[in-house]
Amino acid sequence: MSTAIDKTANTRINTLRWLIRRELWEHKGAFIWAPLLVAAILVLLIGGGGLYAAASTGSFNFQVGEHQVVAINGIPPNLRAQLAGVAASSYLALSAPLFLVLPVVAFFYCLAALHDDRRDRSILFWKSLPLSDADTVLSKVIVALLVAPLVVIGIGIAASLVLLAIGLVAAAVNNINLVLPVLSDYRLYLSPLYLLAFLPLYIIWALPTVGWLLLVSSWARSKVFLWAVGLPLAALAILSWFDFLVGRFSGMSLHAKWIGEEVLARFLGGLMPGIWFGELDTAAMRQMEGGLDTVMLLRLSYSTLSSPAVWIAAVAGCAMIYGAVRLRRWRDEG
């Protein structure tokens, strides 16, 4: 009997693999070309600009920390070590703009995911194949929460390495050889792993948003964006108005502010990488010197999981994903 179970498990994973491939065929532009384009622009602007500056002025402006702007033309060894440390530990920060592309792409992907095939009626084709609604929705959750971030992380690491290499060459042109100290800094190799280590946290924080967007996508007959964004904002506006009026005459409050921050932000903003920084003790972050202390950042970030609100929101996200599956199963597409 166990072989039979293995077989169904295998076919299920196989089906999921095809469903995920299907999503990438459909959204290749958003998930692959958009981040690649942004990465190319980053490399051209930052890398090209840096090279141009290095070649034309023969001097190099480095910014270390917040105020220390130094023009360098042969520098003392301790500064050189510090520069190498910053480069090796923080080079991934150069890919930050890519992580602004991710939430935009993922947001609109989730909104369209269960709506587009209902609009063009191709859902009737997908439903004529042995694909369960649960697997279909699950494949979209996996794409939004795992595949898309992994692609962006991969492209981000590659772009950052290219920029780091350009920076090292530019520095070498100016007689500052940082290649060896950077290559021998263990943080150069650990940084990508640290970046990956944020992914589970990102998934937990993004679950409520993905759930909400998929639910609306599965439910709305049209104007998905309006429903997904307008409905919560309108609800918040009504609550705030109520609070404003009633709060003047009595002590009663519907806690509009709390709902706005705790519920709305999680439902609409969860796909933004680093949304959890809002809950961090920023004082600790300001004390970082000698580049980004990623380990401390990771530890602080994961400490947000001690708040039950994060978990309640994640469970609500899963419940909404389940709701999206049910709606897709029974919605009459006419």
Partner 1 sequence: MNAVVSARGLTKRYGKQVAVDGIDFEIAAGRIVGLIGPNGSGKTTTLKAALGLIPFEGELTVLGYDPRTQRDALMQEVCFIADVAILPRWLRVKDAIDFVAGVHPRFNRAKAERYIANTRLQPEMKVKQMSKGMIVQLHLALVMAIDARLLVLDEPTLGLDIIYRKGFYQNLLEDYFDEAKTIIITTHQVEEVEHILTDLLFIRDGKIALSASMEEIGERYVEVMVSGDKIAAANALQPIDQRTVFGKSVMLFDAKRVGGVAREQLAALGEVRNPSVADLFVATMKGTYA
Question: Which of 6, 261, 289, 333 touches partner 1 by CB under 8 A?
Answer: 333
Provide the mask over 180-219, with x wherever binding to partner 1 is found by CB under 8 A and - wherever it is not. ----------------------------------------
Query: Shortest approach of partner 1 to residue 323 CB, angstroms?
Result: 16
Query: Shortest approach of partner 1 to residue 22 CB, angstroms?
Result: 6
Measured CA to CA, the distance from residue 276 to residue 310 in angstroms comes to 10
The reply to whether 223 sits near partner 1 by the rule CB under 8 A is no
The reply to whether 332 sits near partner 1 by the rule CB under 8 A is yes
Question: Which of 129, 193, 245, 283 touches partner 1 by CB under 8 A?
Answer: 129
Query: Shortest approach of partner 1 to residue 322 CB, angstroms?
Result: 16
Enumerate residues 16-55 that contact partner 1 by CB under 8 A: 17-19, 21-22, 25-26
Q: Residue 47 is encoded by which pair of tokens?
A: 């890398």
The reply to whether 57 sits near partner 1 by the rule CB under 8 A is no
- Residue 118 or 266 with smaller CB distance to partner 1: 118
Helix, strand, or coil (residue 68): strand
Q: Residue 190 is encoded by which pair of tokens?
A: 């650990």
Instruction: Give Rg (Cα) of the chain.
Output: 24
Backbone angles phi, psi at 291, to 5 degrees: 95, 180
Identify the bridge partners of residue 70 per DSSP, sorted by sequence position: 62
**Nearest CA among 91, 65, 98 for reference residue 188:** 91
Helical spans, DSSP H, in the chain: 2-26, 28, 34-42, 48-57, 77-90, 98-113, 116-119, 123-126, 133-142, 148-173, 179-183, 186-197, 199-219, 224-225, 231-249, 256-258, 265-269, 282-286, 294-303, 308-330
The reply to whether 15 sits near partner 1 by the rule CB under 8 A is yes
Measured CA to CA, the distance from residue 72 to residue 175 in angstroms comes to 9
Name the segment binding partner 1 (CB under 8 A); options: 160-168, 248-256, 293-301, 325-333.
325-333
Enumerate residues 238-297 that contact partner 1 by CB under 8 A: none
The reply to whether 221 sits near partner 1 by the rule CB under 8 A is no
- Residue 249 or 330 with smaller CB distance to partner 1: 330
Query: Shortest approach of partner 1 to residue 3 CB, angstroms?
Result: 16
Question: Which of 10, 59, 120, 223 touches partner 1 by CB under 8 A?
Answer: 120
CA 70 to chain CA centroid, Å, is: 34
Q: How many CB atoms lie within 10 A of CB 299?
A: 11
Contacts to partner 1 by CB under 8 A? 11, 14-15, 17-19, 21-22, 25-26, 116-117, 120-122, 124-125, 127-132, 329-330, 332-333
